[in-house]
Structures are given as structure tokens and as C-alpha cells.
Structure 1
């Protein structure tokens, strides 16, 4: 590690590992950061999923930007601090890289300092922060920056004069999905400079495929209250930590993942220990990792035994969500219900790394799904913008996503297109293709009813509206709290605009729709009269020529939508 007070251990280490190679998208990310910096932007955010190599990217920043001043990396966990230092040394063998944490003090010789937020951030640490002269630093990197709104981080930023100081580049890295949680980040970062989601990384071969299993329980979460966007931990633990549910977790492992290296995510310490004991009672080699598990000896031994296959299951609570990079993980059991897309993404990310040595092709994610009428719990399908109650039955989530999108495009009047959340089984698509409800009104969310007079459908984490022929409008919220409005006409991008509020986004999107598609307004209005008017003879003739099946009493609107979608599906 770095030096203790008055000692710089890195001066004596002389590490000389080979420089870490960059993947193409990592090069793109570095170029995007350089370009934004040259444009005068200095508060940048990078969103990459777990396994995307964020640490490799930011360890290259000083040399890529030719920054001669010092670099400060802020991290909040022991595993992240050690990992960041190792990657910095591998990327910059000539650089003195030191640690600032607890009784380890960086020295004036340090060119890069990996600092613990728990050490530098508290109010009582003002004197220790004073050892860092802001004018000596050119880059500040915040790892896992979804925590950056916390007071401990803000104390450090204020010491360095951020956000007002323009000669320091502040780059935050997070695995938060672009459309995920991120309250408070809009005041810290000005732009998402680079983003790549899990789906893209899987398609490009940088992460393994995800297969999903849904296991329903009898546990009731309807009385569990929420706080800060997720379940209250103590009430959640009380609800889920029971013998029947814990036994179901073990049964699910034996049925779907027996023999696989598996991580199980629990709610709290008591839940972790109870699950570990239930696994052990079933004869499955299992260990538990909790916050008090010794970092220096016990954790490394558990991790080594797991990697070697001597332990098959590790149960943990909020320990392995960050900084644990074992590529041989083959299965994840999500026994800790969450409403947070960030937390869920971090959990499943533990199993998505490539493992050429073992030939791993996919990671199996088993969702324990409890009874929850008023709470929207994250599952594998919902993370990909699919119906939350969809049972993949062990199938690949990306294949399901593509199949559903293609089906909606081909069958715009189907129940799945009108009410996506109604789909619970992919086998229903075949039935729906034969039983189209031409009069089913689209279900509109409260946000749409409050902000627009047009028919916006909630889908894929935002809102979308289509009237065929390559005409599509979208509104999406990103992790900075900004809303992006995009309009495509005949497949061409016509509008790509950011708005600071939901209301402004709907107003802007509605304005563009009226401007670009005045001929479609009767189709798109929520209360349009076409819903009850019969289709014209011309429409009926077109439907017949296109060999589109339709009922005798089809409306103008239904005919228009079918014709437009058929044209769009032809490309």
C-alpha cells in the first residue's frame, strides 16, 4: 500500500507489470473525455456496467491527457482502493502511486493518490484534507460516483474548490444505468460524456449472456416501507428472513444452479448467516461475507477457496456489490429485493465478466420474487425495459428483449404492445398474434396524463410514441436528472434535445410531434375522435393489398396504425 506517515513504500517496490491493453470502447471513452475537456467542460460522468473496465480507463487518464499535475482518486471501500492502485501502477509503471487511508499517509512525492473517502471526507478530517494543495492537482476521479452527493464527498470537493474551479478536471465513474437512479448527481456533473449499457456490452462480446429464472415466494412485502428510494432494511430483513423462504433459496440453487459458483445477496447480517447455515445444512460448501469479516486474512481466503471451487456459494450483504471482480462466478441468486436499478445492476454485474479459463458462456440470475402489490421490485426483465413479471424460464434476456420488440413492431395492436406489463410468458406472443384486440385503449401512466394530451406509452424505462413509417418519439431520463427528447422521422434523427424537467420534456416533445407530423395528430391525441369512426374504403383496400388481417368493424385509427407499422417493418 502507500506509505505510513513519513514513509513512501512505493519508492521501494519498483513494480514493472506490462501496460494494460485497452479495448476499443475504452479508447473511445478516453477520446470523449479529452474532447469534452478541450470544449471547456470539466465535470464529466462516465457510465459503464460492472466488468467494463472503468478502473483501467481512469488509470490511463493522466497520460492520455498529458496532465503533469497530480491525480487524486476517491474510493470508499478497501477493495476499490487496492484495485485502483494496482491498475494505476500497471498503466503507469513510472508513476509514484500512493494511498491515503487511515494510518497510511501519502507523501509529497506522490504523483497519484488513491484516497479513502472515509478518511478524507468527515468533518473531523479538515486538517488532513489541508495536507492536499488544490493547485497541485489537475485531475480528480471519483470511483463509484453514485455516492458523490453524500456529505463526505462534498467536503472533499469543497476543499478543492469544486465545482467552481475550472482548472481541475473532475470525472466520475459509475455502473449506474443511464436511465437509472442518480438523485443529486446533476449538481455535481454537467454531462454524461460516455455511456455503454449492459446490452451493448453483451452484444459486442465484452460481457457474457444473462439467463434468467423467476422463483415466486409466499412472502408479503406490501407492508414494508420505503426510504431513500428503496426498502427500509430492517423491515425488509424481518419480512424475508424466514425458514420457508431461506429453504426456497437453497432449493432454487439445487434445481437450477447445482455445482455452479454462486453469489447470494442477502438483506442484512442475520439474513446472511441464516442463509449460509441453510446452505451448509444441505451439504453445499458455503461461506458468508459480512461487513466485519476480516479484510486482511479471512476475506482473501474465502475468495481464494471460491475461485478454486472448494467453496461453491458465498452469501453476503452489501459487501460484494462493489470491488469484487471474480470472473468465474456462474450464478447469482437475488434474495435481497430492491427497487434500485443501480443496486440491482451492481449485483448482477458480479457474474457478467468473461472467464476464458473456464469457458463460461453465460451467468444465470435467479430472482426471488415476493408478493408486492404497491412496490416495483427490480428483476432481470425490468432492468432491460421488459415486463417485470416476465418469466424467462432459463432463457437469455437479450433474446427475449429482441423477440418482444420485433413482435410489438409487427403487431402494434396486440395486448403486449398496448399493455407491455401484461406479458408474463413469451409463449403468450404466439397466442396474441392470432387474437389482436383492435379496440384495446393504450394504458397511459400518471406522468403522461399530467403532462401531455398525446398518447405516450411507458416503455423501456421512459416514454415512447410511434405512428409508423419510421416515425418515433422518445423521452428518457438520465442519471443526472436530465430528460432527453429524441424524434426520428423515416429513420432519420430530427431532434436530440435535453430538458431539465419532465414537464418541459413533454412540452418540447409534443411541440415537435405537432410540427413534424401534423397529419398524424388525430391518431395520436388521447381523446381523438377516430377511435369510434369506421375505416375508409381506401384504408380497407390498402389493408387487403398488404394482406393485413382486420375485423369487419375496424376503426380509422386502428387501420392507420396497422398500415404505418407494416410500412415501418419493411424497413
Structure 2
């Protein structure tokens, strides 16, 4: 195939792609051209043809020619875009809210200075982007001044672009620059650049050319609490050196972080401080935003799949779940019925509701289930062939013809339903932008034509892999890394613990689940590790529940952790999945002595290791002092002791519910759920647990036992160490005689393998020094 013919084919494919791009394996590209090697002549021939085509070949920053691309890597071609225009809006935009007008006025006042560096702080849903864009049109763009809008995620760039279009006061040229938009190499003399920080930091010469002869430039950093990163500081320093007066505006819902060093760094960057600030409470009090109520419901669905590297990248970059997992969730009828039943039980409270489904099949399935319950729920689907029908359905929903609108990727932005009171989030997302858009459908306050209260109902699945799903509670508070104020601590801790406890308590309530030895009182955390920190310019917020039986184990692990991390060469840039093996070693060393089923998750240990590697500190336990108020075990004991009748029992349970506010918070205002917990506790007090028989697992490999029956694995492993413990508490290797006090120095091995008739029992297991195994393995290779 001739070069021109292949490039024409790629051009057609790119034109049919929404992103105007196409990728092809370098090896496939060469094969189609009939090339065995890339000689200098052939490379020049291809590059000349590309320059003559409509395509642009985007190369990695450090690569000069396609000849340096590995045959197994891909070549990425884009339709070369000429000058792009934002046209003056044909409609009259709505007036800003009073607080937005105040912020814009304040920014106009600050512009009278020679330059400035300051912040505007507004909560999620408060219109930070809208406020900044309105001001930029008036202060800069209509005056022919250049604007650079910076962010660290391409979703934020798309959001900014849409807002600039919505409020456009004149025609301007623009370009969006990022890994999924245009290359920085295409920058010409556009008046507006909307760019990711990473796409510009290695193109200082291009940025200098764009700024040449400018007397002033307006720079906005979206989510400015990330601006203390090296990349941002490098970019902003370079812009300042060009000599133009810089008006630097930071937008954030979180002005300062926990660490004093970071507070100083942010204040040093935005030297004029906060120009304007309004918090969430103010906007709710003034009716701009509805007061949000969060309901987090566990589905009792466990996703066992561990993502491979390609699936992990797809999830992180495109927010797309693997098809196999999607099908697993969509086809789960108990999950679907639970979603619908939640609406049916609270229909009067939830009112007009938008439900976000995972895909077309999920939407249609849920609509059918709603129909079975007598609820009129209809479906709209993005890019669906019945777009006219979509519009008719949306209009009927707007006119309150039916109460529930199920949609797939169509109502996240642009759709205006002020009187929607509730959103159902039935699909997980890693995207804060998507979560903002979904939650925002119900947040319009009374003063903005909406409702006084909003209900955000999340359906939470259990995942084998630790994934940082976006959390609507955290989102509305902003990526707030401030320590929790002491006066708010009891309430917030109860809410955090409730959200995480529901899943574990729900497991106890399954009709077919064995009754645990642990009482409800033992199952309520003693406290929480509330982790708030920044890593690679991403705000991380994790809450780990800590139970009484594990407190001393955690403390022992923390004392050991600094030395262990140095010995193992661990560092903050390791991926979390790479830390799992080390977490399992620490589990073996410190946690197996607790004979009950573990209340921690192995990913909790991974998170704590990561937190230490990033911050250099071990977290402090925040004690849950209100746990006595939710002591269901004591209630059950009192009911049994006084031999209450059914009527007396019901009255006592209800009065206790009414008297204790933290009880209601903990159970997410679900009285029936609370009653069922008491009934389960009564059964537990009447019967002893039928413990699992270890003999039933004598033919199960130890590694499989660890995954499938963790409690049995713990008991066996603990007893193996006890059997091999010598004088002074030391353990001994059966092969070398090596002794050590540390469990993590040893591997548990079979005396007789399962293949040769051995069993997974304490008398057939022993300890072998890990280095002995490694040396033996290296000799074989």
C-alpha cells in the first residue's frame, strides 16, 4: 500500500471518530506499507506524506520522530485543526446570582492593581467556573487580552470550554490543549488557551511565543489547591518571566490543606489571599442550593474481578467499567429490585427522581422492574437511535407526567429540571466531574426555582480491588483536607462510620449467613483513622474503621513500619497494588492472633502503608465516643433479661430510637434496619455459633483457603506459628535452623504436598526461612 493511500484511509477513520483521531500499532502501520525496517529514506518519505495530509502525528514529548516509536506501541493521528472559534452567544445569558455578582465586582476592583494573585472560594455547585468565565469575558476577552485557563484533568477543560461558549460576548479564537485534545505544537496566536498543566510544561518556547508582545495576561488555575505542585509552579514562574502583567486567579472549594508547610506554599503562591468566599451553608441558607441528604445503601453484591492493567487505565482515564463487570451488575436481579424498592418505600419523600443507570440494558431492565411495582419510569439513552423519542420523554418528565426518569449518559449536563428532588446513583464513577453533574441535577434550591431539600441515594457494591470511587459526601464538602473541627467531630465521625459500617452490618443480616461469635457491640468501631493527604497532585480522602480487637495490632504495626519500609525499599510512588504483598506480610506479623473473622480489609493495610510513605507519619486514632448510644447488644440483653412482651419490646425499641440522635445517624434514619439488627442480636445471644470445621478444608490449598475462608486460614496459620515457637518466643526454620522473633521472615510450607497425599492441617505445615526459599529458587535458575 502506498503511503498516501494508507494516510487517506486513516484520515477517513479519524473523521468518523468524535475526537477526530485514530490510532494504529506501529508494527501494523509498517506492515501495511510493506516495510521491514525503517531506513532514513523511508522515514523521511512517511513524514513528508504526513505533512502533506490532513493528519497530525502526535508524538510523546521526548520523541522527535516516528522512527523512535517501538513496533509494539501505537501511532496516534489527529485531524489537523485550523483556527477554532467561539462565536458570540445568540441568547441572553441568565443573570448571575447575587453572590456571583459580588465575586465578579470584587475581581473587577482587584484588577485595578498592576497585577494580582488571589483566590475565589465557592463550594461545589456554587458556580466557580461560571463566575470566573463571566468575569474573564468582561475584564479580558472583550478587550482583546489573552486568557490561559489551566487545570489538571481533561474533564475540567471540557467544562470550562462549554461555559465560555455559553457566556460568549464576542467572537474569539481558542484552542484546548491536553492529552485527549490538541497538541501544544498546534498553538498559534489564539486569544483563549484552555490547557492541562502537563501539556504545556515541556513547551516553554511555544508558551513564550504565545505570550510575545502581550502587556497583560489572565491566568486561571482551576482546583487551585493543587497549584503548589512543581508542574504548576514551573509554568507560572515561566509566565511571570515573560514580562507581561499577570492576573492570577485560583478557583477552589478547599483553600488550605492540613500540613502547615502546604498552607504556607499556597499562601506564598496566591499572595493576595482570598478575594471572595462563600461556604455551602450560606448557599443553602439563601435557597441557592437545596440541603442535601445522603443515603448510602449496600447492595450485598461483591465484584470479585481484579482489574488488569488495560482495564485499570480504561477506568482511570475514561471512567469505563469492563463489560464483564457491567454485565454482572446489570444482570443481578436482587440488586435491581433493591434499587426500585428503595424508591417505592420512600416515594413521597423522594418525589421527582432522576436515576443514573450503567448502560442501555440496565436502564430498560430497571424500567421493567419499576413497572412491576406500579411506578411509571421511562428511559432516555445517549446516542440512541430514537433521539426524537428522547426529547418527548424529557419534555413529559419536565411536565410531571411521570415521576422517575432513568437515563444513560444524557442528563449529566445541559438538562434543566429545577424541581427534581432526588438522584439515584446506581453506577460507580471515578470522575468527580461526572459525580458533580449527577448530584447537581437535584441541588437547585428554592431561590433558583428548585426544592428546599435534595436526596442523594448511592448504591454501593463491594469490590475485591480498592478503587477510589467518587463520593458525593466528600464532593459537596470539597476535597477538604482540613482536620475535622472538634465541635463537629462526633456528628461527622458517626456519619463516616455509618457509611462504612452499613456494608459489614448488612452481611450479618443476610438470612443464610452464619451467626458470628462477635456481638454487635464488638462490631461497632472503637474509632477511625481519617486520612487526608495529597499525592501526585490528587487529594486522597480515606476513612478506616478500627475495632477494639485490632487497636493493639495497628499500634504494633505502626511502631514497626518505619524500619520495615526502609528495609524493603518502599517509596511513595509505588502503586497501591504493588504494596499488597507487603501488607500481607504485615498482616501475618501482627493480625493473625485475633481468632475471630477479621474486621479490617487487606486494602486498609495497603492504604495505611501508602499514607505513611507519602506523609512520613502514622495516623492517630479518632475515638468514637458515641458508640455507647448505638449499643444494640445492650438493648437486646435488656429485652431478654426483662422478658419483654412483643408490644413492650416494640415500645422500648422505638423510645430508644427517638432518644438517641447518633443512633438515627448511624442507621441512616432507617428504623426497620435498626429493628432487624436488634432481632439478629437476640438470636445471637440465644444461640452459639456453629463454627466452621477445619477438617472440611483439609484438601484445600492454603492460598485458596486464604482467599475464600480467611478466618479458617488465620486459625491454621496462627497455630502453625505457635507449634514452631521455641524458647524466648523465637520461631525456627525446619530446613536451616534459623531463628527469628518476626513472623514475616518465614513462609508456611507443606511437609507433604497435597499432590502427594498431604493435607492442609497444622500437623502437615511448618515454617521455612524465606531467604532459604529464594536462594534455592535462584540456584535452579
Q: What is the TM-score when the length of structure 1 is the normalising length?
A: 0.49
Larger radius of gyration: 2
Higher helix proportion (structure 1 or 2): 2
Q: Report which structure shows greater RCO (CA 8 Å, sep ≥6).
A: 1
